[in-house]
């Protein structure tokens, strides 16, 4: 994991305009004990559901598992379901889960997905984590850790233009002088060298084709 803590604040700040003649009712100033307890139970329920179904989050079992044991209702349930689907390789279904949420909740869901796939990338399997990293970037374009791992994976897979874009953005956002920055720069240099070679090859092929055409006309 990158040596930099990464988190987003999850919370809602509310307020009510009042006057001396119209004081705020106590029940509106803060959640009731029952509401707070309900929120805690919902969060615990979603985490417990995910823990129970995690082993079935693979391409073979996921569809049956989600039908047999649907996620709890609410934002967290949809977010954990998206994480399960990403682990199973069904990124589009995961996107549908995230898109079903309010726009303000989608980055939070993407962060939850990221936190589930990040350990896979940290173990060196960037390619396997790539679909989830790209999904994360769609909703959190400044998640430098997702940009880093996506760029490494794309470089490995020969997707040099994408790797160039993501590693360049990573280095714009993350400037600490450490092993991650040095590796990012090194891979980016190799990627850009590959892109230059590809461009030279294209020009040579185009020039050769033009020469052959001219010779045929003669």
Rounded to two decimals, what is the model's pTM?
Answer: 0.75
Pick the more confident residue, 76 or 19: 76
**Predicted confidence band of residue 208 (pLDDT cuts 50, 70, 90):** confident
Span of 55-59, 124-128, 154-158, 207-211 with lowest mean pLDDT: 207-211
pLDDT for 205 equals: 86
CA distance 44 to 50: 10
41: pLDDT strictly greater than 60: no
- Rg over alpha carbons for the chain, rounded to the nearest Å, is 24
Pick the more confident residue, 16 or 150: 150
What is the helix (H) or strand (E) element at residue 74, kind and residue range?
none
What integer is the mean pLDDT of 150-154? 98
**Predicted confidence band of residue 213 (pLDDT cuts 50, 70, 90):** low
Span of 27-36, 63-72, 162-171 with lowest mean pLDDT: 27-36
Phi/psi at 22 (5° precision): -135, 75
CA distance 149 to 4: 15
Pick the more confident residue, 2 or 105: 105
CA distance 80 to 76: 6
Report the length, in residues, of the chain.
218
CB distance 65 to 90 below 8 Å: no
22: pLDDT strictly greater than 50: no
Span of 13-27, 134-148, 157-171 with lowest mean pLDDT: 13-27
Tell how far CA 86 is from the center of its chain.
Answer: 10
């Amino acid at each position: 994991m990158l040596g930099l803590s990464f988190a987003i604040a999850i919370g809602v700040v509310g307020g009510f305009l009042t006057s001396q003649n119209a004081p705020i009712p106590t029940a509106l100033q803060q959640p009731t004990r029952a509401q707070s307890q309900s929120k805690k139970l919902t969060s615990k329920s979603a985490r417990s559901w995910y823990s129970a179904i995690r082993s079935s989050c693979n391409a073979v079992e996921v569809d049956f598992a989600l039908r047999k044991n649907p996620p709890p209702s609410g934002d967290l349930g949809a977010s954990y379901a998206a994480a399960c689907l990403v682990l199973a390789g069904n990124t589009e279904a995961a996107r549908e889960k995230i898109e079903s949420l309010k726009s303000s909740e989608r980055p939070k869901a993407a962060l939850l997905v990221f936190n589930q796939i990040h350990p896979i990338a940290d173990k060196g399997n960037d390619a396997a984590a790539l679909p989830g990293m790209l999904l994360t970037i769609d909703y959190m374009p400044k998640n430098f850790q997702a940009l880093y791992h996506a760029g490494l994976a794309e470089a490995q897979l020969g997707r040099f233009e994408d790797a160039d874009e993501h590693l360049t953005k990573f280095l714009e956002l993350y400037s600490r002088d450490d092993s991650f920055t040095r590796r990012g720069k090194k891979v980016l240099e190799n990627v850009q060298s590959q892109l230059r070679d590809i461009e030279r090859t294209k020009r040579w092929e185009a020039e050769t084709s033009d020469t052959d055409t001219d010779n045929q006309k003669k």
